[in-house]
Amino acid sequence: MSLPIQNISLLDSLSSLRQTGRSTNSRNDRGFSDRLDEAVAGGTTPVATLQKAREAAQVLSMQMLQASISIAGDSPITAPSRAQSSVNSLLQAYLAQQPARGEESSTTPQPQLQPQPQPQPVELAPPPPVSAPKQIHETRNTAWLDPIISKASLKYGVEASLIKAVIKAESNFNPQAVSHAGAQGLMQLMPATARSLGVRDSFDPEQNVMAGTRFLRDMLNRYDNNLESALAAYNWGPGNVDKSPGRLPRETRNYQTRVKEFYSSYTG
């Protein structure tokens, strides 16, 4: 059973005891006991809630009071006085409520370590599937040109898909195209070549395609239907190809590759 104690000033009681002197020992015992009983009976705060520093000070004060009471009489004390009994009871009750050494540290809750969040794996988007080569999609509406191409193909015996591939590579179906060298129209005829073929207006789609297809037919005949040689002559000129057939410029080689790719796409 715990004894409630509130604000017991033991030092004040000890001071009062010393002031009365030895001659009033029994009377002092009764006054001190009464005061101590009142403090014990009227306390409301449990010892366990006092701070450690205050607890240590009160224990020391009780021990000093007990020692003072023992030496306060003129003769040796053979039986404990009422004050001593009260002090001893108070001291024993107080010490009984103190935690054993090591008990407090063992019961002190330890801070719990919060688990660290684990990094989530990053999901990588799958690579796009490898698709078949894309077919060439025209950026222009070329349906209007199909009748002219068909007419030139029938007249000169050149496949319509090859004529269309040359137009795509030369002007991208722009009848008003002009190159840095001065070539004009859909099939990029040089002015001198256009005049020799009877073209009056190189920007007229039908005149240009008919003359360009005729010139392409002549190149195929010249090189025994060898498509690469005919395309090289169309781009670089037959005279240059005849002089240096194995030394085509890079621009002409790229031109051959582009026309053949377009030709394959339109044929398929």
**Mean per-residue pLDDT, 90-103:** 58
CB 112 within 8 A of CB 170: no
pLDDT at residue 58, rounded to an integer? 67
207 has pLDDT over 70:
yes
CB 167 within 8 A of CB 210: no
The tens digit of pLDDT for each residue in 100-114 reads 544 444 455 555 666
CB 256 within 8 A of CB 228: yes
The tens digit of pLDDT for each residue in 137-179 reads 555 689 999 999 999 999 999 999 999 999 999 999 999 999 9
The tens digit of pLDDT for each residue in 216-226 reads 999 999 999 99
**Mean per-residue pLDDT, 22-29:** 44
The set of catalytic residues is 170
CA 80, 85, 88: angle at the middle one, nearest 5? Answer: 115
Amino acid at position 261, single letter: E
Complete domains list, the chain, with CATH: 10-98 (no CATH), 143-267 (1.10.530.10)
Q: CA–CA separation, 44 vs 7, rounded Å?
A: 9
Confidence of residue 130 (pLDDT cuts 50, 70, 90): very low
pLDDT at residue 141, rounded to an integer? 86
CB 169 within 8 A of CB 188: no
Q: CA–CA separation, 216 vs 234, rounded Å?
A: 7
CB 230 within 8 A of CB 214: no
Q: CA–CA separation, 191 vs 117, rounded Å?
A: 76
pLDDT at residue 78, rounded to an integer? 46
pLDDT at residue 235, rounded to an integer? 96
Q: How far apart are the first and last CA of the chain?
A: 105
98 or 8: whose pLDDT is higher? 98
Mean pLDDT rounded to a whole number for the chain? 74
Amino acid at position 10, single letter: L
36 has pLDDT over 50:
no
* DSSP of 190-242: -HHHHHHTT-S-TTSHHHHHHHHHHHHHHHHHHTTT-HHHHHHHHHH-HHHHH
Q: CA–CA separation, 128 vs 232, rounded Å?
A: 38
Confidence of residue 26 (pLDDT cuts 50, 70, 90): very low
60 or 137: whose pLDDT is higher? 60
pLDDT at residue 181, rounded to an integer? 93
